[in-house]
Amino acid sequence: MPKTDFSSIPSVDSILQSPLANDLINTAGRELAVRSIRQSIDQIREKMTSGHSLPDTDTIIQQAENLVREWLKPSLVPVINASGIILHTNLGRAPLSEETIIAMRSVSWSYNNLEFDLYTGRRGKRSVHAEEILQKLTGAESALVVNNNAAAVLLTLSALAKSKKVVIPNSQLVEIGGGFRVPDVMRQSGAKLVAVGTTNRIHLSDYVQALEDGASLVLNAHSSNFKIIGFTTEPKLEEITAAAHSFSVPFVYDIGSGAMIDTSLFGLSHEPTVVEAMAAGADIICFSGDKLLGGPQAGIIIGKKDLLDKIKRHPLARAVRADKTCLAGITATLTHYLKGEALVAIPIWRMISLDQDTIYQRAHKWQRSIGQGEIIKGTSMVGGGSLPGDTLPTYLLALRIKKADKFLSALRSLPIPTIGRIENDQILFDPRTVLPNQEEIFVQNLNEVLHKKI
C-alpha cells in the first residue's frame, strides 16, 4: 500500500496568514485558534490515510471554527421544564425568585462585606449574614449556612458526636440520592451508629433503651423521599425529644426539604415544617435551601446556641461553608417568608399554588399557537426528595407523535432545550412548571420541531 503524502498539507502558520483566520483569532484568541487548527490538521491527516482528498484552507479554518464553537459551548445551560416535576433534581431543583437573583448578582459584580464588620471596620464573620433572619423566622437561638444539607448533617455529627453513640431508627437508614447513604455519612463523621427498632415499627422504649446504654445523641431523618405504609408505628416527635432531654442528650432532626409553609393547604400530604420542628423541642434542625424552601443550594443548621457554637468552631465548618452568592441568595429567599409573600414571589410556591383555571388557559393558548394537540387532565409532582407519591391535579398539552423519542431529542438539542415526558404513547407538556418568561420560547421550540421532518 503506497504511503500517504502529507507534504501538501499547509502549515499552521500559513493558515493563520489567511484573511479568514482573523475572525477565528478575534473570536477565540490566538492560542485557542492555533490549537483548533492543529487539531483540524490532525483530523485531515487521518482522513487522507483513508483516501479523502485535502480540503482547501478555507475549509480547514471552518473546521477549526466548528471545533472552537464546540469547545466554548457551556455544558450547563438553562432549560425549559415542561415535565410537570416542580423540584426536578436533574434540572437544578428550585428556580430562584427575581429578588434572589438580584441579591446574588449584586454581591458578585463588586466587592462586599462578606467577612468585614462595617460598624467596627474590623474583620467580621460570614455566618452573621443569614443568621439574623433565620432567628426571626424560626425562633432559633443560632444558625449556620453551609453548602448543602448532607454537609449540614455531616458537620453536625462531626462536631457533636465524634466517637460517640448516635441513636437512629432502622427505618431511617436510607439512601438520600446519588449513592449517599445515611449510615455512610454517620460513619464518616466518626459517630457510632446505634440503629433501633425495625424497618416498619419503632417504639419510644427503643430510644430509651439506647439512651440507657450510653447514647450521646439522638438523630431523626425525615423520610422526605420515600414512604413506609401499612403496619407501622413510631413515637411522636415531642416524645422523642422529651426522652432525649431526660438523659441530657441533644436531639438532632434532619427534616430535609426545609418547608416553611404547610403543604396540606394545597391538597398535599403534610410535610413537617421548620417551625414545627422547633416547637417540638429539637435542639438542632438541618434542612436544604433548594427544595421546599425555594432558594439556592445550601444546607441550613438552626437550633441551640451552645450546640451551634461547637458546630461553627469545628474545622470541617470551613470546608463546607457557604460562599457570598449563597448567603445573599438564601437571605433574599428567606426575606420573602418574613414579608409573607412567598406564594407570589418564590417560583416553586407559585407553581404549587397555581389554580386549575390558569393552568388550563395556558395549555389552551399553547394548543392554539401550535395548531394541534389535545388538552387532557393529568398530574404534576413536587419531586426533589419531597412529598413522595404526592401529586397535584393539572392540565396537560398532549401530542401524538409517531417518533416520540426523536421528537423529544430534537427539543433537547435546541439552544434553550425543552424537557417534556411520555405517557401512554403521548408526549405531555405541563404548564405548571414552565416559567412565564420562558413561555414564548417554549411555543417557538414546539413549532420549530413540529415543522421539521423527524
User: How far apart are the C-alpha atoms of 165 and 353, rounded to whole Å?
Assistant: 43
8 Å CB contact between 418 and 435: no
- pLDDT at 94 exceeding the cut of 70: yes
**Per-residue model confidence (pLDDT) at position 1:** 45
Cβ neighbours for 368, distance < 8 A, ≥ 6 positions apart? none
CA distances from 244 to 185, 211, 216, 237 (A): 22, 7, 9, 11
Residue 23, C-alpha cell as written in the block: 475572525
Is 96-345 CATH 3.40.190.10? no
The mean pLDDT value of the chain amounts to: 91
- pLDDT at 111 exceeding the cut of 70: yes
Pairwise pLDDT comparison (317 vs 5), residue with the higher score: 317
Instruction: Dump pLDDT digits (tens) for 343-399.
Output: 999 999 999 999 999 999 999 999 999 999 999 999 999 987 677 778 999 999 999
Q: Which fold has domain 80-88+348-450?
A: Aspartate Aminotransferase, domain 1 (3.90.1150)
Instruction: Dump pLDDT digits (tens) for 410-445.
Output: 999 999 999 999 998 899 999 999 999 999 999 999
**Sequential DSSP letters for 370-392:** HT--EEEEEEEEEETTEEEEEEE
8 Å CB contact between 93 and 291: yes
Annotated domain spans of the chain: 12-71, 80-88+348-450, 96-345
In the predicted model, what is the mean pLDDT of residues 89-95? 94
8 Å CB contact between 202 and 251: no
HSE toward the beta carbon, residue 432, CA cutoff 13 A: 29
In the predicted model, what is the mean pLDDT of residues 88-103? 96
Percent of the chain whose pLDDT exceeds 70: 94
CA distances from 410 to 73, 82, 406, 418, 454 (A): 18, 15, 6, 9, 8
Any idea what DSSP says for residue 434?
A: S
Sort strands 284-288 and 251-256 into parallel, antiparallel or unpaired. Answer: parallel
Cβ neighbours for 200, distance < 8 A, ≥ 6 positions apart? 171, 228, 230, 231, 232, 233
Any idea what DSSP says for residue 145?
A: E
8 Å CB contact between 104 and 271: no
User: How far apart are the C-alpha atoms of 82 and 441, rounded to whole Å?
Assistant: 12
Residue type, 193: L
Sort strands 251-256 and 217-221 into parallel, antiparallel or unpaired. Answer: parallel
